[in-house]
Amino acid sequence: MKVNRVALLGLLVVSTICTLGVDVSQLFSTSVYTCLKNNGYHFVIPRGYCSYGGVDAHVVQNLNNAKAAGLATDIYMFPCRGKSAAAQVDQMMSAISSKLFEMVWIDVETNPSSGCGWGTNHSANCEYLTQIINHIKSHNKNVGVYTSQYMWTNIMGSKTACPGVASHHLWYAHYDKKADFSDYS
């Protein structure tokens, strides 16, 4: 019987620390965000910076609408490798009030925009990502990385590449329709 109680307690603890959220790359109204909130969602992460190398035109309105609905907010940055890391961060940070979001997630995945792909030099990719991270931190914001094992390995060279990034939050992208990390490696 004690085993069952311990297992149940473990399940209760896990369920209380898990939260639902969504990332968005288009404009949504406050009513849509309210619907999400009413259906158990707790946070929204709008795109703050687009893959082609510019601030998302809808990010500020999305942040305001999500906050009006009572949701926590972060933003994500899809950097353009062909442009200066610092310039992109500065452009994004100057366009979006720091009061509207808590954290910046950096999207590390294949970039389809012309002149913006990561390239094949893995150590240069790691250095570039580190520049972005350091510049976001210089704006007094926390940083996380959004990636999948596949994307990380292709862009950085191996699962263990770019060890300086390991101390930051990871948004593990894996599209298997299961809300768990049982297959994480």
Residues tagged active-site: 23, 107, 109
Secondary structure letter of residue 176 according to DSSP: S
The backbone torsions φ and ψ at residue 73, rounded to the nearest 5 degrees and listed phi first, read: -135, 140
Amino acid at 9: L
For residues 142 and 103, is the Cβ–Cβ distance under 8 A?
yes
Cα–Cα separations (whole angstroms), residue 45 to 75, 96, 100, 156: 5, 13, 11, 24
